[in-house]
Amino acid sequence: MIEVVIKRLPHGVDLPLPGYATAGAAGMDMCAAVADPIMLAPGARALIPTGFAMALPPDYELQIRPRSGLALKSGIMVVNSPGTIDADYRGEVQILLLNAGAEAFVVTRGMRIAQGVLAPVYRVVWRESETLEASGRGAGGFGSTGLGFVPPMGG
């Protein structure tokens, strides 16, 4: 368990904090802290407040991901999925939703709109080189690992 300090904002006082729906859940459900319903027409997007801010520990991020049920049933996605809440951010957590469905969708107060997954962040130190170690895939890009993949010559 990792302790994270969280601050309820005035418009989120009556809402549950992010929480796990089951003992084995990786993501915490996050609720909408909207005062009035927000209608998302097909193709529309909106920034939805959650009513809380937090102080993540150093070397962690909170990844914001779509809820699979909303994605399947209504086409509701997190636009920049996964979104990243950095450890040094102290503002309100807000969720950028997109309606990729065919029908209008209404976000209401307290609705579970996304999930947050706490993840470690590893820092990279780049070491430039004129060559890279060979691999079975080589420079094969998009779709190159499907059936019948033939590595490019010399790759």
- Residue 43 domain-assigned (yes or no): yes
pTM, 2 dp: 0.84
Quick: pLDDT tens for 94-141: 999 999 999 999 999 999 999 999 999 999 999 999 999 998 877 877
Give the helix ranges, DSSP H, for the chain: 68-74
What is the domain range of residue 34? Answer: 5-120
Query: In this structure, what CATH number is given to the domain that contains residue 23?
Result: 2.70.40.10
The number of C-alpha atoms within 13 Å of 142 and in the hemisphere containing its C-beta is: 0
> For residue 41, is it within any domain?
yes
141: in domain: no
Bridge partners (DSSP) listed for residue 96: 47
SS3 state of residue 124: coil
Summarised one tens digit per residue, pLDDT across range 39-92 is 999 999 999 999 999 999 999 999 999 999 999 999 999 999 999 999 999 999
**How far separated are the first and last CA of the chain, in Å rounded?**
44
